[in-house]
Amino acid sequence: MRATLAVVAVVILCLSVGAGVGAAAHEEPNRTILGIELSADSNATVYYVNSYDLGDNDQRATYESYADNESQRAAFRADAVAELEAAATTGSGEAPWNMSIRNVSVRTYEQDGYGRVEVRAEWVRLAYADERRVIVAQPFRGGYEPDRRVTIHGPEGYQRNRTVPQPFRAQRNSVALNPRTSDFSGFFVEFVDPDAETATATATATATAASESRDGGGGVGLVLRALVVALIPAALAVLAVRRR
């Protein structure tokens, strides 16, 4: 009996690890990365991180040049902000809304033998969002290819859905992509809320007899209006990923 329980426990553990969200990639100390954490409202928290192996003398010296010098950190922050703002400008030109970068900070810290220089910022309206999904396409589809890996985490409770290009790592709520080895021209990363209701085209029961008579007695107008409302999110999503 104990052996059976042990086997069951191992199976459950394996399944939970395979389906789990996992730690945010920007928190992995050995990664030089652009980490994106999406919110359901279309905004995102962005982490622009350089990582240095403290066991390597040259890399340690580079890290310490940031850790010990406020001017160096300010310069790193300025370079990161310039890149992110240029990307937001690209995204604003491609998507039917304006993107912006705000609330920027910079810090250095050491973790597990690595020194990290991190710029954190809020990216306003990075994604398309509706009541059941969040989609990132721009500015990557429009030509933004950072010189580092990109990780994207969906909003809490959301699940990864369609992803282009093929990620080199994917979990239930995150993807990791490499612009050096993948084509970002068709970039599309979607997360869905599994608990959200799917939009329907069902007419309401509150239609009056007058409106029914105008529709020929069948409520056709109500159905058509409901269909239009249901299709609005899909139309916005198409606009969000359009190319020039």
Are 154 and 207 contained in the same domain?
A: no
Classify residue 119: in a domain, yes or no. yes
Rounded Cα distance, 94 and 201, in Å: 30
The answer on 61 and 131 residing in a single domain is yes
Query: Is 56 within a domain?
Result: yes
Looking at residue 201, what is its pLDDT? 39
My answer on whether 179 and 238 are in the same domain is no
> What total of structural domains would you count in the chain?
2
Answer yes or no: do 154 and 221 share one domain. Answer: no
Dist CA 91 CA 46 (whole Å): 15
Residue 225 lies in a domain: yes
Cβ-proximal residues to 6 (8 Å cutoff; 6+ apart), any chain: none
Q: Give the pLDDT of residue 1.
A: 54
What was the pLDDT predicted at 30?
86
Domain's final residue, options 195, 219, 235: 195
Task: Classify residue 9: in a domain, yes or no.
Answer: no
Following DSSP, what letter does each residue of the chain receive, concatenated? -HHHHHHHHHHHHHHHHHHS--S-GGGSTT--EEEEEE-TTS-EEEEEEEEEETTSHHHHHHHHHHHT-HHHHHHHHHHHHHHHHHHHHHHHHHSSS--EEEEEEEEEEEETTEEEEEEEEEEET-SEE-SSEEEE-TTTTTT---SSEEEEEPSTT-EEEEEES--SEEETTEEEE-TTTS--TT-EEEEE-TTSPPP--PPPTT--HHHHHHTTSS-HHHHHHHHHHHHHHHHHHHHHT---
Q: Which range marks the domain in which residue 74 is found?
A: 14-195
Please say which residue of 178, 195, 212 terminates a domain. 195
Q: Tell me whether residue 3 is in a domain.
A: no
Co-location of 140 and 229 in the same domain? no
**Is residue 165 domain-shared with residue 50, that is, in the same domain?**
yes
Same domain, 51 and 156: yes
Which residues make beta-bridge pairs with 102?
Answer: 122
Non-local CB neighbours of 112 within 8 Å, separated by 6+ positions: 29, 30
**Type of residue found at 76:** F
100 plus 217 within the same structural domain: no
Angle between helices 70-94 and 57-67 (to 10 degrees): 90
Together in a domain, 213 and 110: no
In terms of C-beta density within 10 A (0-12 exposed, 13-18 middle, 19 or more buried), how is residue 88 classed?
A: buried
Residue 85 and residue 82: Cα distance in Å, rounded? 5
- Residue 6 forms part of a structural domain: no
pTM: 0.73
Domain membership of residue 92 (yes or no) is yes
Does residue 154 lie in a domain region?
yes
- pLDDT at position 28 is 73
d(CA 185, CA 138): 10
- Whether residue 186 sits in one domain with residue 242: no
Low-confidence stretches of the chain (pLDDT beneath 70) = 1-27, 199-244
Q: Are residues 70 and 176 in the same domain?
A: yes
Based on the domain organization, do 219 and 180 belong to the same domain? Answer: no
Per-residue pLDDT at 237:
53
* CA-closest candidate to residue 225, choices 206, 244, 197: 206
